[in-house]
Amino acid sequence: MARSKKTTSATHHTPKKKKTGGGLLLTIAVVAAVMLIGFLFVSHSNPDVEKRSLSEIVSEVIPKIPSAEKASTKESDLKEKAKPKQPVAKDSDSNQNKVQHKKLSGSLAVVVDDCGYDLEPVEILSALPIDMTFSILPFKTNSSAALKIIKNNGQTPMLHLPMEPMDAGQASETRMVSVAMTKEQVQNYTKEAINSLPGIKGVNNHQGSRATSNPATMRAVLEVLQSKGLFFIDSRTLAASVGYKMSREMGISTGFNSRFLDNSSDVDEIKKQIWAAAEIADKYGSIIVICHARENTAKAWSECYKEVQGAGIKFVPVSTLLT
């Protein structure tokens, strides 16, 4: 017997569409109708009330949408507020940033070497209202000009006498006092260098580790200084230098360098060395130090001399600290 085929009918449910905005439109219509009825009632009962159109009433009920310009302005304001605030640069010379130093005392004699190259640092340093001593290299293009600037600013000029370093390859000058010279050669060169800078008060050595540690060479130089009434400052480029000891033995006014302030060209580091020298002056009563006629050295002194002086340090010409 043939089986009858079962037929199944699939029931398809069509999803109902959600109403979009129907409720909102109905609400607006109701509110408008209520307002209109109230308006008609009030206007009818009180003829003095100003008559307004339906659109005016509706505009009061439905808030206005901000304009595109105002919206963009608010958006930009929000973005501006969201930006991270940049730190405000503080004035390095403000009182808040000044380091407070303890009160000091003592005398500081500053010798400025290598005058005769760049004139600008010489002009800046010699114009500062503190005593300094300026040592000038001979036979340079700007040697005479540097001497004139130093004298005009009332500062003490010296001769920065080129002398042979321990490593001849490190010599910065082609003409210098060397250990290979005879006594006569040493003295002739020394006299020539002194005479090229009229009015100098003393001499210190430029480089010269080999020459200043050689007794015969050093005596030949000092005899010339003695004959001309000049003092000698031993730059102490080498601890074995005999310049200071021999000067005292010969009765020549003398002193020696205790610290180089600008081995580093960094302005802040130079300032640290200046303050270190001030501390030594405070501890021992006085100190002679050497720096150079360089741009950053001039900048460092210009920025800190007032504070050093204000702390109690007295700046003096090197001639006042000689023995």
Q: Is residue 196 located within the same domain as residue 304?
A: yes
Residue 85 maps to a domain = no
Do 108 and 249 fall into the same domain? yes
Shared domain check, 182 and 111: yes
Higher pLDDT, 314 or 28: 314
Same domain flag for 46 and 137: no
CATH at residue 287? 3.20.20.370
Residues 148 and 249 in one domain: yes
> Would 251 be classed as within a structural domain?
yes
Instruction: Judge if 167 and 36 occupy the same domain.
Output: no
> Does an H or E element contain 163, and which?
strand 156-163
Give the pLDDT score at 35: 58
Domain contains 167: yes
Q: Which of 87, 123, 77, 86 is nearest to 295 (CA)?
A: 123
Res 187: pLDDT: 98
Kindly indicate the confidence band of residue 52, based on its pLDDT and cuts at 50, 70 and 90: very low
Same domain, residue pair 109 and 50: no
Do 113 and 36 belong to one domain? no
Sign of CA dihedral 274, 239, 107, 233: negative
Q: Is residue 1 part of a domain?
A: no
Give the separation between CA 218 and CA 241, rounded to whole angstroms: 9
Q: Is 97 helix (H, G, I), strand (E, B) or coil?
A: helix
Q: How many domains does the chain have?
A: 2
**Per-residue pLDDT reduced to its tens digit, 268-319:** 999 999 999 999 999 999 999 999 999 999 999 999 999 999 999 999 999 9
Contacts of 215 (CB under 8 A, 6+ apart): 242, 246
Average pLDDT taken over every residue of the chain? 81
The whole domain housing 278 covers: 103-321
| Beta-carbon count within 10 A of 262 CB | 22
Instruction: Give CA 304 to chain center in angstroms.
Output: 11
Q: Convert the pLDDT of each residue in 167-184 to its tens digit.
A: 988 899 999 999 999 999
Tell me: the pLDDT tens digits for 92-123? 333 333 456 789 999 999 999 999 999 999 99
Q: Note whether residue 171 is domain-resident.
A: yes
A 10 A CB-CB count for 68 gives 8
Instruction: Let me know if residue 117 belongs to a domain.
Output: yes
> And the tokens for 67?
């304009």
Quick one: 265 and 161 in the same domain?
yes
Strand-pairing partners, residue 255, are 233
Clarify whether residues 165 and 52 are in a common domain: no
Residue 68 is assigned to a structural domain of this protein: no
- Looking at the chain, the whole-number percentage of residues with pLDDT higher than 90 is 67
Residues in the chain: 323
pLDDT at 68 over 60: no
Q: Are residues 112 and 170 in the same domain?
A: yes
Let me know whether 173 and 261 are in one domain: yes
Rg (C-alpha) for the chain, rounded Å, is 45
- The pLDDT score that the predictor gives to residue 169 is 86
Spatial contact of 198 and 184, defined as CB atoms under 8 Å apart: no
205 assigned to some structural domain: yes
